[in-house]
Structure 1
Amino acid sequence: MKLRRNLTALVLGLSTIAAFAQSGNTETRQIKEEGKTVFNPHWFMQVQAGASHTVGEAKFGDLISPAAALNVGYQFTPLWGLRAGLSGWEAKGAWVSPETIYKYNYLQGNVDATLDLSNLFCGYNPTRFFNAYLFGGIGVNGAFNNDEAVALNDAGHRLEYLWRDSKVNVVGRFGLGTNLRISDHVFFNIEVNANTMSDKYNSKKAGNSDWQFNALAGFTFKFGKTYTKTEPVYYEPTPVPPTPEPVVEEKKEEPAPEPVVVQPMKQNIYFVINSSEIRNSEQSKVSALAAYLKEHTDAKVSLCGYADKNTGNARINKKLSKERAEAVAEALKAQGISADRITVDYKGDTVQPFSTMEENRVTVCIAE
C-alpha cells in the first residue's frame, strides 16, 4: 500500500510539473511582420533537343527534322527575364511533282524576352512544381548545305528562290514553355515555339512567309541563390507592472499628504509597411491611452509619427509619418478625447527612434 501511495504521489507531481512547463512553452508571441520569401535575380541555362517542322507541300511527318537549342539568360524579376540562344540542326523542303523531299542545315541565334505566367497569375512561389512561361523575340537564321535542292533545280525543276551556298534570314519568333521543378536549381523543361522568316528560306516561292515550328524538351539550370526566406519579426513582450503594495492607514493624525505624482504613459503604435491604418492588434494600446486620459483629466498626450528610411523616399515618408500620427489622434478623438489635449508631430524618416526598420513604422505616444 505504501509503495502504491508513493507511486501515485510521484505521478501527480510529474504531471503538475509537465502542466506548468507546457503552459509556459505555449505562450504565443505576437507577430509584428510575417516572414517572407524574397526573389533574388539570377542566371539560368537551358539545354534542349527535339523535333522541328518546316511548313511545306508534303505530309506533316515527311517534313519533321531533328533540332537542338542552348539558351543562357538572366531572370531580372519574378515576372521578366531575358535570354540569348543558339539553335539549329536540319530543315526540310518539298517539291510537289514528282514528290521529292530535300534537306538542308541551319544555325539560328536569337534573343527572347520571357514572361513567367505562373508568377503573373498565381503569385511568386519558388517551390511551385509547374512554372509556365511565354516568350517572344527576334533572331538571325543562317542556312547552308542546300545541295539536295540545288541538284533538284539542276535536274530541271525550277526553284524560284533557290540559294546555293548559304542564306541569311531575319527571324521573328514566339512560344510557350514550362519548367517542372526537380529541385531549386534543376527543372525539366518542355517548350514549343514558332519562327517566321522570308519566303526564300526553303528555296521555293509561295508568296508568304516561311514558318518553322519546334517542339523541344530538356533541362533548365538556375545558378546561385534564387530566393531568400526572411524570419518573422515579433513584438517585444509587454512587461507586467508590479502589484502595488497596500497602503497601511495609521490612525494618528498626520500632515496633509503630498500630491500624488501621476506617472506618464507611453505607447508605441506600430504600422505595417506603407500604411497608416491602425491594426486590430494595436487598438488595445489606443484604448489604454484613452482610458489614461479620461482618468487623468489634466493630462495631455503628444503623438509623433515616424517612417523607416529603408523604404520609400523622404517625401513619401514625411507624408506617411504625418498620416500615422493623425490616425492615432483621430482614434483618440473617437473615444472622447478632446482635440486640445492632443499634440501631433511627425519626423518622416529623418529620425529613427529604434534599431529595426519594422519598429520605425510607428507613432510614439506620451501622455502626462
Structure 2
Amino acid sequence: MKKFLSFSILAAAALTMTPAVNAQEADYNYTNIPPAKDIYTHSWRDNWYIQLGAGAQMPIFEKNGDASNFQMKKTTALYEAGVGHWFSPYFGFRFRGQGGAMHWENSNQWHKGKYANLNLEITWDMFNSLCGVNDHRVFSIIPYLGVGGSYAWDYSVAGNILDNDGKVMEHQGVVNTNLGLQFRFRCSKRVDLYVDARLTGTADNINNIAWKTGLDPIFSMTGGLQINLGKEGRHVTKYTPFDCMGAINDLNGRINKLRGELADTEAQLRAAQAQLPCPEVTESAAPAKTTNSVNPAVRFKFNSAKVSANDQVTLYDVAQVLKQDENAKVVLKGYADKRTGTADYNKKLSERRANAVKEALVAYGIDADRIEVEAIGVEEQPYTDNNNWNRVVIVTTK
C-alpha cells in the first residue's frame, strides 16, 4: 500500500510538470534575427587614380549677327590631367586641369587666345548607387559637378576691357563652374579608359571682351587613360556585420524563464515528496546531512554593475536554496574582462558587481553575514573561450 501511494504522488507531480516543459519546447524556434546589411569600406590610401587625356573644345560665345554659336571652325585642341579619389563606392572627388587654345568670332573678325583652368569636382558613380556595388563593372556613368578658376592670355586681337590706367588688358582670370558626364570603360583593375563630355561656365570677360551677358559657356569633349593606383587598383572591401546582442539577450531571457519554471516545478516536487510516508530511521543508519550545491553565474553588460531583470530569477533561486540550509554561506566572486579598461578600474568594477549581487540576495531575505564578496578583477578569467563572458559574478557555496 505504501509503495502504491508513493508511486501515485510522484506520478501526479510528473503530470503537473509536463505542460510547462511542452510549452517551452514550442517556443524554441528563434526567428528574431535582424536582416544583414552589406557595408563597404577601404583605407584612405586606396582608390586614388590619375587621368591623362585630350580632346576638343568649342567656345559658345561671341557670334556675328544671326550666325550659330556652334561652328566647327571654332573647335580647338584641349589637353587635360587630373588626380582623384573615391572615398566610398558612390562618391569621390577630383582635381583636374585643362589647357589649350581658343578661337572665336567677334565683329566679323576672328580672335585667338590661350586658355587654362583648374577645378575641384565632386564625382558620383551612378551605377554603383542605383544598381549595386560592383568593382568589376565594365561600363559606368559618372556625373560630376565642380568649381574652379580659368585664366586666358595671349589674345590675338585687343578686347574692350580696360585696366585702371585705361589700357586694354592682356590677360583675364575668372571663376568658373562646370558639370559633365564621364563614361568609364574598365580594362583591368589598374587601367580604365574614359570619355568625358563637359560644359564649363566662365565669366563674360574670359575672352577679354565683355557685353554684359554674364556667362560665357565652353563645351568640351575629351577621352583618355585612367590609371588606378595601388596593388589592388580600384576596389572596396565588403563585410556583413551581424548584431547578435539582441539574439543573446533574447536567449538569456528564455533561459532565465526556464530557470524560474524549473524552480516552481522543484517546489511542487518537494511538496509532493513531503506527502510521502517518512522512512523508519534506526540509530545505526542516521541520515547524512547534505548541503545543496549552488554555482550559478550572473552576467553583466559592458562597463555595468547593474543586475538585469532576467538574472533576478537566478538570484531568487539562490536565495531559496540558502533558506533551506541556514548554515550554508556563499562567496560572490566578481570578474571583469581583461581586454578593456585598466587593472585597477576592472578590480573596482568587479567589486561593484559582486556587491550588486549581494544587495539582491539581501533583498530576497538572506543575512549579509552569510555572504562573502571577493573582487577578482582580471587576475583570473573563468571563461577563456569568450572574453565577454568574463563580465560576471560567480556564486559558490562555502
| TM superposition score category, shorter chain reference | 0.5 to 0.7
Letter paired with 1:39: H
Equivalent in the alignment of 2:186: 181
Per-residue deviation, 1:69: 0.9
Report if aligned partners of 1:115, 1:133 keep a CA contact under 8 Å in 2.
yes
1:191 aligned to which of 160, 180, 196: 196
What residue is the counterpart of 1:160 in the other structure? 160
Q: In structure 1, what is the Cα distance between the partners aligned to 2:56 and 2:71?
A: 11
What is the deviation of 1:196?
1.9
1:64 and 2:75 matched: yes
Structure 1 residues 136 and 362, CA gap change in structure 2 (3 angstroms)? farther
Once the two structures are superposed, residues 347-368 of structure 1 have per-residue CA deviations (whole angstroms, 9 ceiling, x without a partner) of 7955898889xx6677999999
Number of residue-to-residue matches in the alignment: 262
Identity %: 17
Name the CA shift for 1:198/1:364 in 2 (closer, same or farther; >3 Å): same
Q: TM-score, normalised by structure 1?
A: 0.54
> Which of 288, 299, 304 matches 1:304?
299
How many Å apart are 1:45 and its aligned residue? 0.5
Task: Give the Cα–Cα distance (whole angstroms) in 1 for the partners of residues 384 and 137 of structure 2.
Answer: 35
- Asked if 1:272 corresponds to 2:277, the answer is no
The alpha carbon displacement at 1:342 in A equals 9.8
Structure 2 CA distance for partners of 1:115 and 1:227, relative to 1, 3 Å? same
The structure with the greater share of residues assigned to helix is 2
Q: What is the CA distance between 1:209 and its match in structure 2?
A: 1.4
- Give the greater-gyration-radius structure (CA): 2
Aligned counterparts of 1:305 and 1:119: Cα–Cα separation in 2: 42
In 2, Cα distance between equivalents of 1:145 and 1:44 = 33
Q: Displacement of 1:70 after TM fit?
A: 0.2
* Cα deviation, residue 51, structure 1: 1.9
**Matched residues in 2 for 1:227 and 1:355: separation?**
37
Amino acid at match of 2:135: P
Task: State the alpha-carbon separation in 2 of the partners of residues 107 and 355 from structure 1.
Answer: 66
Match of 2:137 in 1: 128
Aligned partners of 1:34, 1:88: CA distance in 2, in Å? Answer: 45
Q: What displacement does 1:200 show? A: 1.3
Q: How big is each residue's C-alpha offset from its partner over 1:76-126, in whole Å with a ceiling of 9 and x where there is no partner? A: 333443322221112221125x3x443322122222333433444445432
Give 1:47's match in structure 2, choosing from 47, 52, 56.
52
The 3-state SS of whatever aligns with 1:277 is helix
Aligned equivalents of 1:48, 1:197: Cα separation in 2? 22
**Residue number in structure 1 paired with 2:98:** 87
CA distance, structure 2, for counterparts of residue 79 and residue 342 of structure 1? 56
Q: CA RMSD in A?
A: 4.5
- 1:104 to 2:89 alignment: no
Which structure carries more strand by proportion? 1
Change (3 A) 1:200 1:35: closer
- The 1:228–1:93 alpha-carbon spacing in structure 2 relative to 1, beyond 3 Å, is closer
* TM-score, structure 2 as length reference: 0.51
In structure 1, give the amino acid aligned to 2:299: C
Unaligned ranges ≥5, structure 1: 1-32, 151-158, 233-270, 308-317
Is contact 1:47–1:69 with CA below 8 Å preserved after alignment?
yes
8 Å contact kept, 2:54–2:224? yes
List runs of 5+ in structure 2 lacking aligned partners: 1-35, 163-167, 267-291, 320-333, 347-377
**Contact kept in structure 1, 2:256 and 2:314, CA below 8 Å:** no
Q: 2:146 aligns with which of 116, 131, 137?
A: 137
State the one-letter code of the partner of 1:127: H
Shift of 1:199: 1.0
What is the DSSP-based 3-state SS (H/G/I as helix, E as strand, rest coil) of the residue aligned with 2:205?
coil
Give, in angstroms, the shift of residue 50 of structure 1.
Answer: 1.7
